[in-house]
Homo-oligomer: A and B are copies of this chain.
Amino acid sequence: MPKLDLSKIEARGGSGYPGKLADPVAGRTGQRLGDAGGLTQFGANLIHLEPGSASSLRHYHMEQDEFVIVTAGVCTLVDDDGEHEMRPGDCAAFPAGDANGHHFINKTNTVVSFLVIGTRTATETGYYSDVDMMVKVTNNKEFEFTRKDGSPLTKDQTGEDT
């Protein structure tokens, strides 16, 4: 039925970021609410950040609009303009192609949560603001991380042999 039972939707951790680039998001889990409800056109994910964790590396999308509403705790939005405190009910919008890299971090001592909506597209390109990295997504599921010139990430970046 349309009303979702959030207690029955798994909160998944993990990250596709290579090697130590995933460290900042180790305390992030997400519940795929839209998927659970049968939606395909956009993702609607309820993200939970442990104290000290980030939602992602600071990034922006070229093809996909993104929208966030905070649902619990006090998040800190970081973008090119600095830090912005966001409380439950506060919202932020990130239009596709706007090169203002952003992420959310939890600077408090309790878990914070927010709902993030992102358009689903078959392909996508994302750029990271604080590291020399981009991601290309193909077939709606295959992620390739490289430096911004397309060359492989280095061991210095990932801590791994390439």
Q: Which residues of A contact B (CB under 8 A)?
A: 1-4, 6, 33-34, 36-42, 44, 46, 64-65, 67, 69, 71-72, 77, 79, 81, 84, 86, 89-96, 98, 100, 102, 115, 117, 119
Complex CA gap A69/B2 in Å reads: 12
**B2 touching A92 by the CB < 8 A rule?**
yes
**B40 touching A95 by the CB < 8 A rule?**
yes
**Copies of this chain in its oligomeric complex:** 2
**A6 touching B91 by the CB < 8 A rule?**
yes
**A44 touching B4 by the CB < 8 A rule?**
no
Chain B positions within 8 Å of A40 at CB level: 65, 95
**A65 touching B81 by the CB < 8 A rule?**
no
Most buried by B among A6, A86, A95, A100: A95
Identify which of B37, B46, B81 contacts A93 (C-beta below 8 A): B37
Identify which of B3, B41, B81 contacts A1 (C-beta below 8 A): B81
Complex CA gap A90/B5 in Å reads: 8
Can you list 26 A-B pairs with a CB-CB distance of less than 8 A? A2-B77, A2-B92, A2-B93, A2-B100, A3-B77, A3-B86, A3-B90, A3-B92, A4-B90, A4-B92, A6-B89, A6-B90, A6-B91, A34-B65, A34-B93, A37-B91, A37-B93, A38-B95, A39-B65, A41-B65, A42-B65, A42-B119, A44-B67, A44-B117, A69-B71, A115-B115
